[in-house]
Amino acid sequence: MRVVVIGAGVAGLALARGLIGAGHRAEVYEEAPEPRTAGGSVSLWPGSTAILGELKAEPAARGVGRRLETLESWASDGRRLLTIDLTAAERRYGHPCVHVSRAELVEGLADGVPVTYGAPAVHVDPGRALVRLADGREVRGDVLVGADGRRSVVRRALRGGDPAKLSGWVTWQGFTATPTELTGDGRAVMIAGREGLCGLIPAGRGRLLWWFDVRSGPGRPLWADDPDPVARLRERFGGWTAGPLPGVLGDLGEPDFFPHHSQSVPALWGEGPTTLAGDSAHTMPPTMAQGANQALEDAWLLTRSLGDLRGYERARAKVVRRPARLAATEATNMQRPIAGLLPDRLVTRFYTWFLRRASNYLLTAP
């Protein structure tokens, strides 16, 4: 089949890669003039590293990223409250949890995929799987997939409007290259307090991803117009003494800023020969670290479902709603000392179970 894919993010590239591997003809149109590799790093759970293995784009095989062994919750004074053993999920599902920069993930997926850059889609006819590009060219497939992110033009043509709303939280994030006790480690750490949440995760090659999630008031996201957000972060989190945090606050570099959005996920995403994949179908806040994982899950199932697009949407909607609903509560930003009362083994078992419930790949694996 000839499949036209709009958007060369994680969803579009993984889909095109899978389709080409399965013998289909896939062509990707991307509005940016070159690969979009900005935006920190992402955690990938066992379903996703398995899918990347099938796509021959596994981070470990390319010597990028960092295998994660634990996910830890600390208090702002550095007390360890809870440890989830991620090697339990690795043993159970046979694939690791990995943290990798978006640049390295996108580069691995894009290798060998035909992408036309600088080609924004401006008009979509979903019933005919037809797209007009900004230069006036029309492209048409047997199937059309909108993998064009939260502001998707394909979704707008299908359903109108933008269902995603600001959740009231924002993320400030970046890499620090200053060596810390966590940089060469397999520990992902989340530190919660009244001021917000800080995350620290090694991303390989001497980088540590840091991020701060802070709650905004109504209206404009917090510090969106502030000329010196680094100073604001230091003021707000300067009293925290946990582990390497004081040193990290001294070397924040140029942070990126992401307001959180969430939406409810409908049962059906498309019509006729047109469907969606990735954030265009299910934008969620980054709090469960699931958006890129769910994009890979879409790509994996859609590659196998070209003849039954509504079946693909139903099967994915049922599963993707689980992390999307949890992420929308922003609950992980509001961990309380009660986390210290929960037994590590119990939470590890729950998290291992949840990772399967959030993955069509793992749910169908033997």
- Stretch (H or E) spanning 110: helix 102-110
User: Whole-angstrom Cα distance, residue 358 to residue 320?
Assistant: 6
Backbone angles phi, psi at 313, to 5 degrees: -65, -45
Nearest approach, Cβ of 133 to ligand FAD (angstroms)?
A: 8
CB-nearer residue toward ligand FAD: 36 or 205:
36
Nearest approach, Cβ of 254 to ligand FAD (angstroms)?
A: 15
Residue 355 is a binding residue for ligand FAD (CB under 6 A): no
Using CB under 6 A, which of 53, 78, 120, 266 touches ligand FAD? 120
Measured CA angle at 310 (ends 29, 365), to 5 deg: 90
Instruction: Give the pair of three-digit tokens for residue 53.
Output: 């293995």
Looking from the CA of 256 toward its CB, the CA atoms found within 13 Å total 14
Measured CA angle at 255 (ends 216, 280), to 5 deg: 65
Using CB under 6 A, which of 19, 144, 292, 324 touches ligand FAD? 292
Residues in contact with ligand FAD, counted by CB under 6 A, come to a total of: 33
CB-nearer residue toward ligand FAD: 43 or 303:
43
Residue 204 is a binding residue for ligand FAD (CB under 6 A): no
Q: In this structure, is the dihedral angle defined by the CA atoms of residues 52, 54, 55 and 59, taken in order, positive or negative?
A: positive
Which of these segments, 1-9, 82-90, 182-190, 315-323, binds ligand FAD (CB under 6 A)?
Answer: 1-9
Residue 12 is a binding residue for ligand FAD (CB under 6 A): yes
Residue 171 is a binding residue for ligand FAD (CB under 6 A): yes
Which of these segments, 70-78, 189-197, 234-242, 292-300, binds ligand FAD (CB under 6 A)?
Answer: 292-300
Residue closest to 18 by CA, chosen among 213, 299, 329: 299
Residue closest to 138 by CA, chosen among 150, 127, 125: 125
Could you give the string, one character per residue 27-56, with x where binding to ligand FAD holds by CB under 6 A and - elsewhere? --xxxx---x---x-xx-------------
3-state secondary structure at position 334: helix
Residue 7 is a binding residue for ligand FAD (CB under 6 A): yes
User: Whole-angstrom Cα distance, residue 281 to residue 269?
Assistant: 7
Measured CA angle at 353 (ends 10, 90), to 5 deg: 65
CB-nearer residue toward ligand FAD: 43 or 333:
43
Which of these segments, 64-72, 184-192, 289-297, 319-327, binds ligand FAD (CB under 6 A)?
Answer: 289-297
Residue 289 is a binding residue for ligand FAD (CB under 6 A): yes
3-state secondary structure at position 115: strand
Nearest approach, Cβ of 343 to ligand FAD (angstroms)?
A: 26
CB-nearer residue toward ligand FAD: 174 or 273:
174
Nearest approach, Cβ of 286 to ligand FAD (angstroms)?
A: 4
For residue 325, which amino acid is it?
R
Using CB under 6 A, which of 193, 291, 359, 362 touches ligand FAD? 291
Residue closest to 292 by CA, chosen among 37, 41, 22, 16: 41
CB-nearer residue toward ligand FAD: 207 or 346:
207
Residue closest to 303 by CA, chosen among 110, 51, 116: 51
Could you give the string, one character per residue 248-277, with x where binding to ligand FAD holds by CB under 6 A and - elsewhere? ----------x-------------------
Residue 322 is a binding residue for ligand FAD (CB under 6 A): no
> In this structure, how many other beta carbons lie within 10 angstroms of the beta carbon of residue 38?
10
* Strand ordering across the sheet containing 187-193: 80-85, 70-75, 187-193, 196-204, 207-215, 165-176, 256-262
Strands 70-75 and 80-85, bridge-based pairing: antiparallel
> In this structure, how many other beta carbons lie within 10 angstroms of the beta carbon of residue 263?
18
Could you give the string, one character per residue 221-250, with x where binding to ligand FAD holds by CB under 6 A and - elsewhere? ------------------------------
Q: Which residues bind ligand FAD (CB under 6 A)?
A: 6-12, 29-32, 36, 40, 42-43, 120-121, 147-149, 153, 171, 173, 258, 278-279, 286, 289-293, 295
